[in-house]
Amino acid sequence: MLDVKIHNLSLKNPVLTASGTFGYGEEFADFIDLNRLGGIIVKGTTGSHREGNPYPRMAETPSGMLNAVGLQNGGVDKFCSSTYHRIADLDTNVIVNVSGSSIEEYCETAAKINDLEKIPAIELNISCPNVKKGGMGFGTNPQMAAQVVGEVRKIYHKTLIVKLTPNVTSIVDIAKAVEDAGADSVSLINTMLGMAVDVECRKPVLSTITGGLSGPAVKPVAVRMVWQVAKAVKIPVIGLGGIASANDALEFLMAGATAVQIGTANFLDPTVTIKVIDGLQDYLNRHNIKDINEIIGII
């Protein structure tokens, strides 16, 4: 049995897709049956349309990549009026990643998503390293993190997941602060701030100089943070960062994550999510485990 619960959210399995790496799901519909997923977390959505950062936005790194997309998206109104209707009827949890530059923007966006019947949860992204204002700023300071979560909590009445940045001295302090401020769950990690240099051109690869590191390279840091946070908070933890196989997902689950997200690995293999789901079931079968919840947090 692969079912897990994140607050009021029932997932048919603990495998979600990570925001910004899976579009709105539609991009992968040719490769997999989206209804098999535990959930889809769509691209970061902001109060209004955003063009994002200039190209180049991507650099390949050892077992990973840097991105500097900068929250390009059509804005919440376009999501509500158009994208929502195309994906709302999927038989999986469609969750909106809510991003912004100010508390007002977070709240406005969250309020609009709150009205969408078939969106059971939002993931509040207080951790994007690729925007100048707000973004990661909120996620690196417990007081600011608590403030934005507290305000959003007042107007958002379904499952509120808060996504944390790893670029901090103590992720536990931030996690506890957002738990106290009313988060129903935390997801971690967002990307790590990194940089790559094109030594032939003698300049940074990315237009923004620094960007967000993701992929298998960050997995050990992500597992460590999930383990630390899961021990420190009572709300369920969603783990991500570098997951590319069922074994990777199991590392997070055993470290204390109730569910996981898959991001960058979708680029390498657009069917990876299904392989991970099947691999988890295989593991349970092989080890004679009835319920995946038995191994969650076993460490």
Partner 1 sequence: MKKHIADFTVVDKKNHGQHYFILRLQSSEPLPEILPGQFVEVEVPDNKEVFLRRPISIHDVDYNDRTISLLVQIVGKGTATLSKLDTGRMLNLVFPLGNGFSLLGDKPLLVGGGAGLAPLLYTARKYSEKGIRPTVLLGGRTAELIPVKDEFKAYGEVFFATEDGSLGEKGLVTQHPAFGLSYDHIIICGPTPMMKAVARHALQNGINCEVSLENTMACGVGACLCCVTKTDHGHRCVCKDGPVFNVKDMKEWAES
Of the candidate residues 11, 34, 40, 69, the single one contacting partner 1 (CB under 8 A): 69
- Residues 212 and 214: their CA atoms lie apart, in Å, by 7
- The residue (of 105 and 248) whose beta carbon lies closer to its own copies is 248
> Which residues on neighbouring strands pair with residue 163, listed in sequence order?
125, 187
179: its two tokens: 């738990």
Of the candidate residues 48, 72, 147, 210, the single one contacting its own copies (CB under 8 A): 210
Interface with its own copies by CB under 8 A: which range of 91-99, 152-160, 192-200, 265-273?
192-200
- Minimum CB separation from its own copies for residue 237, in Å? 14
- Minimum CB separation from its own copies for residue 202, in Å? 5
- Residues 265 and 242: their CA atoms lie apart, in Å, by 7
Any catalytic annotation for residue 128? yes
- Minimum CB separation from partner 1 for residue 5, in Å? 28
- Residues 126 and 211: their CA atoms lie apart, in Å, by 16
Across 166-182, b (16+ Cβ under 10 Å) vs e yields bbbeebbebbbbbbebb
At residue 289, φ and ψ (nearest 5 deg) are: -105, 125
276 binds its own copies (CB under 8 A): no
190 binds, among its own copies, ligand FMN, partner 1, none (CB under 5 to 8 A by kind): ligand FMN
Q: Which residues bind ligand FMN (CB under 6 A)?
A: 18-21, 43-44, 67, 69, 71, 97, 99, 125, 128, 163, 190-191, 214-215, 218, 240-243, 262-265
Show contacts with partner 1 in window 15-44 (CB under 8 A). Answer: 20-23, 27-28, 30-31, 43
- The answer to whether 189 and 18 are in contact (CB under 8 A) is no
- Minimum CB separation from its own copies for residue 99, in Å? 20
Of the candidate residues 250, 259, 272, 296, the single one contacting its own copies (CB under 8 A): 250
210 binds partner 1 (CB under 8 A): no
- The residue (of 71 and 145) whose beta carbon lies closer to ligand FMN is 71
Residues 6 or more apart whose Cβ sits within 8 Å of residue 81: none
Binding site for partner 1 (CB under 8 A): 20-23, 27-28, 30-31, 43, 51-52, 54-58, 60-65, 67, 69, 72, 215, 264, 266-271
Residues that bind its own copies (CB under 8 A): 59, 61-64, 66, 140, 167-169, 192-197, 199, 202-204, 209-210, 213, 215-221, 223-224, 227, 242, 247, 250-251, 254-255, 283, 295, 298-299
Enzyme catalytic residues = 128
